[in-house]
Structure 1
Amino acid sequence: MDEIFLRTNEDILVKASKYKQQSSTISLIRIEELHTLLGLIIFSGAMGNNDLPNRELFDPTLCGSKDIATMSLERFEFLLRCLHIDDRSTRENRRQNDKFEPIRNIWEIFIQRCRDLYKPCAYINIDEQLLAFRGRCPFRMYIPNKPAKYGIKIVLACDVNSKYMFDSCPYLGKNAETAPAELLGTHYCKLITKTIYGSNRNVTADNWFTSVPLAEQLLEDPINLIFTGTIKANKKEIPSEFKHNPSRRVGTSMFGFHTKLTLVSFKPESQKNSSSVVYFAQ
């Protein structure tokens, strides 16, 4: 909040200097008012009003009087235009080395709080989420089979019991400068589980993350994590016997063992072209 407060007031000074007359509408923001502004944004989302025009949100005959009781419509719109979280004067230079640089400082502060203030249970789920967004963003993605289609892809580590997100990182694309030489799924899985290394917790993920090398790496010191995940049947590590067989009886399972790893293939339906494969690291 202190960082947002500082950067927002910097932008207010720039925009207010262009007005001929000074007024309370374009005055500097106070920290209490910043809390109020963010509270209004969160409240409108919780009430399902975030798609309404601002003039309707501040009309007491339509959405009640909570918004208009906190600040005027003109002040609300002015603060939204000035709301900033980084130093605009150095943004372009910093962005050349990192697409996420304009928001990275605030993001790291927030995620570190999520890590420090919560102790996850023994079972962790790793997955990805597409946050709907159609604005300008160098790493905005288009995924046609998602409800939103356009958005920012975030990789999450969540507690299975409480659904609390205790770690996360943005997906910046395959060609990002920070992209590693290893598989992207492996990289992101290891990255957002660093805070639970050595805890022997159980990590579950889908086939975008799962691979045999990942399962083997998570088992070794100093990581020491148990991994469970679905794996694509076309992976070279999957024996041909575990792949689709029309003559195989529905509801049957096949097990394969190698050192500390267990492979399970289950056939749910006769119409399926490939079996459902699950990879366990024990």
Structure 2
Amino acid sequence: MNQSLCAPGTIRERPKRFVHANLLDVINPNESDFSADEKSGKKVSGDSSDEGDAIQTEVKEAEEEVATSTDAPPVDRILQNMKRRYTWVKKDFDIEAGSFENNSPLPPAEPLSAVEYFDMFVSRSMLKAVVDESNKYYFQKHGATLNLTVKELTSVLGMFFRMGLVNMHRVRAYWENGSTYELVAQVMSRNRFEKITSHLHFFYNEAANDKVKEDECWKVRPWLSSLSSNMVVLPQEKKSAVDEILIPFCGRCYIRQYMPNKPKSKWGLKLWARSGESGLCYDFDVYQRCNKGFHGSQGGYQLGLEAGVVLQLCSSLPKRDNNLVVADNFFTGPQLVEELSRMGISYIGTVRENRLSCSKLMDEKSKKRGRDTCDTSVTSCDQKTMVAVKWHDNRTVTLLSNCIGADPLTSAKRWDSKEKKHIFVDCPAIISSYNRSMGGVNLLDKMCFSYRFSIRSKCWYM
């Protein structure tokens, strides 16, 4: 008989529904997994005290190692920073800003040829590793030899660079009659070029375990790691910016992203990058998913994605006292600025006001005072001071820094729509410093789009 059917006139009783708040009431406090194991005769803990002491010693050494590491901040302190509420006071920021001007010309003063400049980023060992893996992969697949050499691979990369300057509708058009491009066609035959590009390999697949495959870019990770290491060796500017870069790509890929705010190409691979004012990239990583950390690690970032990206990219900064990092409001928060202050790194960034709890900055009504209205609020924590500056121009913008405030004021040229002429308004010093230093990644993003190789591959290697 169906239990759901009831006699006429009887009240149907619904089964009691529990939510997560009722779970503790359901569980019998006298019951325990440990007591059940003891009653069943299972051994819960070891009798040997030496084994327990050894484990405690290893844990203590690991904690000390993390606490003394300069690249990875201690986890306990980071968790405390995430829960901390800051007390803001309306006063001026009285810390004098340091000098962040470069003393030496960048790039190096000695003129370099195109090949020498290429060798600074792509070493011979990187090319040799690709040659070995590609030859091995071709032999496993076809039982024959590809006979790829380092010189031939360098020629293929040069052909890709040239194709990025002269775009055609398909690869074979560079060799076809009527559209032959001699600087590409004379280097290598079409069949040889297609054979090499279809069998390029960067990693031995059989050597990858499940831990390695957690990284979505594991097949090209050795190449990316070597390239990033070569970038760090370059003499770095004192000012660097952290932002996102889009590598245009319209094929099928797990890590492809859609970025609607990009002006032209909106689909592609998203990279986190740190570059100087000149546009040179000093460190980068491929964005995979928001729950993954640097190099695709499952642990994620300890301070969240936004702050974790900046901390990881800043770990490759040279050890000096006058490093300045700038970023936009996606990354900036009080916890990030506090942690960078502990690392001795100066920071300027736009910030979302909902991340500044009780900052006591001017409200929307204060905008009626007119253009160039400015307000400042300061907070301190563990002898680390940071300042929030809110400035009203055409729109209101809020910035957060640990090295510079609103003073000294400078003049900025603006267009007055009412008077139909240019006027000069007072501009805080933090605004001027941010605008001068933030364009490096944008320049790099522009170059990546302008000189990209637009022809799609037959299959995505990843």
Q: CA deviation at 1:209?
A: 0.9
What CA distance in whole angstroms lies between the structure 2 residues aligned with 1:197 and 1:238?
35
| Contact persistence 2:162–2:184 (CA under 8 A) | no
| Contact persistence 2:372–2:391 (CA under 8 A) | yes
Which of these residues, 70, 78, 99, is aligned with residue 216 of structure 2?
99
Q: CA deviation at 1:180?
A: 2.1
Give 1:262's aligned residue: 387
Which of these residues, 85, 93, 101, is aligned with residue 202 of structure 2?
85
What CA distance in whole angstroms lies between the structure 1 residues aligned with 2:260 and 2:372?
32
Which of these residues, 227, 244, 249, is aligned with residue 110 of structure 1?
227
Which of these residues, 126, 133, 138, is aligned with residue 254 of structure 2?
138
Q: Does 1:4 align with 2:130?
A: yes
How many pairs does the alignment contain? Answer: 265
In the superposition, relative to structure 1, how do residues 277 and 28 fare at CA in structure 2: closer, same or farther (>3 Å)? same
| Contact persistence 2:257–2:267 (CA under 8 A) | yes
Q: Does 1:39 align with 2:39?
A: no
Which of these residues, 173, 188, 207, is aligned with residue 71 of structure 1?
188
Q: CA deviation at 1:240?
A: 5.0
What CA distance in whole angstroms lies between the structure 1 residues aligned with 2:162 and 2:261?
29
Give 2:400's aligned residue: 279
| Contact persistence 2:247–2:269 (CA under 8 A) | yes
What CA distance in whole angstroms lies between the structure 1 residues aligned with 2:255 and 2:162?
28
> More displaced, 165-174 or 185-194?
165-174
Compute the TM-score of the two structures, normalised by the length of structure 1.
0.86
Q: CA deviation at 1:218?
A: 0.5
Query: Per-residue displacement from partner, 1:4-47 (whole Å, max 9, x unpaired)?
Result: 11111112223443xxxx8xxx74212111111111011111x2
| Contact persistence 1:197–1:224 (CA under 8 A) | no
| Contact persistence 1:56–1:62 (CA under 8 A) | yes
Q: Does 1:48 align with 2:166?
A: yes
Gaps of 5+ in 2: 1-126, 293-297, 404-462
Query: Per-residue displacement from partner, 1:110-146 (whole Å, max 9, x unpaired)?
Result: 1001111x12121111111111123343322122222
What CA distance in whole angstroms lies between the structure 1 residues aligned with 2:181 and 2:166?
14
| Contact persistence 2:334–2:356 (CA under 8 A) | no
In the superposition, relative to structure 1, how do residues 48 and 156 fare at CA in structure 2: closer, same or farther (>3 Å)? same
Give 2:335's aligned residue: 213
4+ residue runs over 4 A deviation? none
Query: Per-residue displacement from partner, 1:61-119 (whole Å, max 9, x unpaired)?
Result: 32431222111111111111001111133457455422222211111111001111x12
- Give the alignment's Cα RMSD to 1 decimal: 2.1
- Secondary structure, aligned partner of 1:13: helix
Name the amino acid aligned to 1:3: A
What CA distance in whole angstroms lies between the structure 2 residues aligned with 1:72 and 1:129?
34
Compute the TM-score of the two structures, normalised by the length of structure 2.
0.54
| Contact persistence 1:124–1:203 (CA under 8 A) | yes
Q: CA deviation at 1:197?
A: 5.9
Q: CA deviation at 1:278?
A: 1.0
Give 2:361's aligned residue: 241
Name the amino acid aligned to 2:392: K
Name the amino acid aligned to 1:276: V
Higher relative contact order (CA 8 A, sep 6+): 2
What is the aligned-residue identity percentage? 20
| Contact persistence 1:126–1:189 (CA under 8 A) | yes
What CA distance in whole angstroms lies between the structure 1 residues aligned with 2:215 and 2:377?
43
| Contact persistence 1:125–1:158 (CA under 8 A) | yes
In the superposition, relative to structure 1, how do residues 102 and 213 fare at CA in structure 2: closer, same or farther (>3 Å)? same
